[in-house]
Chain A
Amino acid sequence: MLFWTTLKVALRSLWAAKMRSLLSMLGIVIGVGAVIAMLAVGAGAQKQVLGHITALGSNLLMVMPGQPRTGGVRSGAVETLVLEDAEAVPGAVEGVLALSPVVRGTGQFKFFGANKQSSVMGVNPGYLGLRNFEIAAGRMFTESEVARRAKVAVLGADLASDLFGTADPVGQTVKVNGSAFLVVGALQAKGTQGPFSFDDQALVPHTTAMKRLFGKDYLDEIDVQTTPDADQAAVQAGIEELLRRRHAIRFGQDDDFHVRNMAEMVETATTVTGIFSLLLGSVAAISLFVGGIGIMNIMLVTVTERTREIGIRKAIGARDRDILAQFLVEAVLMSALGGVTGVGAGVAVARLSGLVSGFEAVVQPQSVALAFSFAVLVGVFFGFYPARRASALDPIDALSYE
């Protein structure tokens, strides 16, 4: 009964000073909205990155030269993987379904007036299946073309349209870094967004890439696809064992290569986007904190203004805790109302940013719950001191306050 009266009085006094209440709530609204929107953007980014990774297929192993990246810096020599390493794998390790050496480079593509710089991947025909690419027109190059270092290329969808527009590229000849390549096929677009485009590249035989285009005698990567029933960890261990032997690495010495699996990549991506979310979330949390200070400020003003009211309440028998509850309820009501509005604003902003950028923001129920309860806690925390001050007033002093 007393609780309802307390709530009613709190609502009425907030209503009596509408503008002031709104302005003090604004900090909480922005804070809660920012937390929800930022976490939604973070979750959206995570979902997208994980989508990219799983699109690669979960049974992929990537052998990279050098030691694992530590803090973004690659240490050790990078010219350690050779073609013979790749060729040795299928015979020595069980459970390998497909394998492709990978040589990366950049090529300047020319076709009459069209001129474009794009990445060139030197691979074998198996790469198509490894990375889930589909041929849109023409064909993939063949093993025999690989064996004779044929100057043939399969173009990614974006590269093909940049060079040829809507015309069929198959059968045309393009210049790559000055030498003529026959376009034998074009890839279906992967339709991926973000900074990594799988469509802006050309595939050529790895032998051609090594000897004719880039003059390399080492590989940048070996992609291995395991059979569906194979134990991935065992395959990975087998490859590591084989390469250690081939590279004559003694026990206790660091490897000059490393094998990455998809689980590891998912983990890395989760960590990175997690840090991203945490960063965005903490900036938002700070604004929520600042909103709390706004509430405390206005509550201190309110307590001073209503000193006489406090005196009256005490005179008719309100205990300290009744006064404390009165002002605490008012502060929490303000932060909770701000929280509700902020939830609405946050969801709207997340939706809107999704519409505008095409970068999906995922509003998670737990982040809504988190932001709202944090807002209420902010109200309790910052409302407590002013309420405490109100409850500690002496009734005589409060009654004679003008």
Chain B
Amino acid sequence: MDAVIEAKDLVKAYTLGGAVVRALNGVSLTVGRGEMVAVTGASGSGKSTLMHILGCLGSPDSGPYVLGGEDVSLLTGNRLAQIRNRYIGLVFQTFNLLPRLSALENVELPLLYGGATGARRRAASALEAVGLADRMHHEPARMSGGQRQRVAIARAIVTDPMVLFADEPTGALDTKTGREIMEVFDGLHRDGRTLVMITHDPRIAAVCGRRIELEDGRILSDVRNGKG
């Protein structure tokens, strides 16, 4: 299996009110191309920190993190920003779209930061892919939660990243809309994309082919249900 993510003994500690908190305490995992992985765990188990590090928003204190064959654990600042821009797509619970920009402009932005050509056209086809062809020029404020999350997904896939991370993508949505969004993710998985979902919702975890459970900064279990 072609590995997209290879992390070994990841450690990340914070100082919180004088006490050192080991949010990640030796996490090793490998995610292959085309896998759809759910990362679950109670709050404080370290799953958000894991997503931040795997999503290249921060660096681990120790442990190599090889993304697509390149060790990114020692990169910082602008170099990391480029990795995020090219190889990673991030979807958040609260959508995190920019107000005052239309859906199309929001989706375009990663391409503009990356200096890619044909940004407008690629953004439009990403929006079509998530079923928002008719909402391209709306601002996020005039969209429903489900539509906003679709825009966020379009923004995450527009650069054709190596891996897509989603942090509680249905957490701010009602059950029905949440199910629709999961269908979008499932569709992306079937198209061959690699997905890592951070969630505490067992229904989402059930959709994924593999489930990693974290506890106190360590992996408690890593189960494949044969689907992936």
Do A and B truly interact? yes
Instruction: Show the binding face of A for B, using Cβ within 8 Å.
Output: 1-2, 5, 9, 12-13, 16, 308-309, 311-322, 394-396, 399
Q: Are A315 and B84 in contact (CB under 8 A)?
A: yes
- Beyond A313-B109, A316-B85, 4 additional contacts (C-beta under 8 Å) are A2-B113, A315-B90, A315-B96, A320-B81
Report if B105 contacts A (CB, 8 A): yes
A sample of 30 cross-chain residue pairs with beta-carbon separation below 8 angstroms, ordered by A number, consists of A1-B112, A2-B113, A9-B98, A9-B100, A12-B100, A308-B96, A312-B96, A312-B97, A313-B98, A313-B109, A314-B57, A314-B81, A314-B84, A315-B57, A316-B110, A316-B155, A317-B82, A317-B84, A317-B110, A317-B113, A317-B114, A319-B77, A319-B78, A319-B81, A320-B77, A320-B78, A322-B113, A395-B58, A396-B57, A399-B57
Report if B17 contacts A (CB, 8 A): no
Q: Are B58 and A316 in contact (CB under 8 A)?
A: no
Report if B119 contacts A (CB, 8 A): yes
Interface size for B (C-beta < 8 A) is: 30
- 8 closest A-B pairs by beta carbon, nearest first, are A317-B85, A316-B110, A319-B78, A2-B112, A312-B96, A12-B100, A317-B113, A319-B81
Residues of chain A within 8 A of B58, CB atoms compared: 394-396
Residues of chain B within 8 A of A314, CB atoms compared: 57, 81, 84
Write the B71-86 contact mask toward A (1 if CB under 8 angstroms, else 0). 0000001100110111
A28 to chain B, nearest CB (A): 24
Instruction: Show the binding face of B for A, using Cβ within 8 Å.
Output: 52, 55, 57-58, 77-78, 81-82, 84-86, 90, 92, 96-101, 105, 108-110, 112-115, 119, 155, 159
Complex CA gap A218/B84 in Å reads 93
Residues of chain B within 8 A of A312, CB atoms compared: 96-98
Known: A2-B113, A316-B90. A309 touches B98 (CB 8 A): yes
Q: Are B86 and A317 in contact (CB under 8 A)?
A: yes
B86 to chain A, nearest CB (A): 7
Complex CA gap A59/B58 in Å reads 81
Residues of chain B within 8 A of A316, CB atoms compared: 84-85, 90, 109-110, 113, 155
Task: Give the one of B96, B114, B115 with max A CB within 10 A.
Answer: B96
A211 to chain B, nearest CB (A): 89
Q: Are B100 and A13 in contact (CB under 8 A)?
A: yes
